[in-house]
Amino acid sequence: MTTGLSRRLFVAAVGIGALSASAEAEPSIELGPILDKYADALRAADVEAAVGLFMPNGSYMAPGSKAAVGSDAVRAAHQRLLATLKIDLEFDIREAAKYAEVGWSRSTAKAHLKLLSNGVESTSYSNQLVVFEPQNGVWKIRSYLSAAAPADAVK
In a domain, 31, yes or no: yes
* Gap between the Cα atoms of 15 and 21, Å rounded: 10
| pLDDT reported for residue 64 | 87
| pLDDT reported for residue 100 | 81
Range of the domain at 113: 25-154
Strands 26-27 and 121-135: unpaired
In a domain, 57, yes or no: yes
Instruction: Going residue by residue through the chain, which has 155 residues, state the pLDDT in tens, using 9 for 90 and above.
Output: 444 444 443 333 333 333 333 344 444 558 899 999 999 999 999 999 999 999 999 999 998 889 999 999 999 999 999 999 999 999 999 999 988 889 999 999 999 999 999 999 999 999 999 999 999 989 999 999 999 998 887 76
In a domain, 134, yes or no: yes
> How would you class 90 by CB atoms within 10 Å of its CB: exposed for 0-12, middle for 13-18, buried for 19 or more?
middle
In a domain, 8, yes or no: no
| pLDDT reported for residue 34 | 95
* N- to C-terminal Cα separation, the chain: 56
**CATH of residue 141:** 3.10.450.50
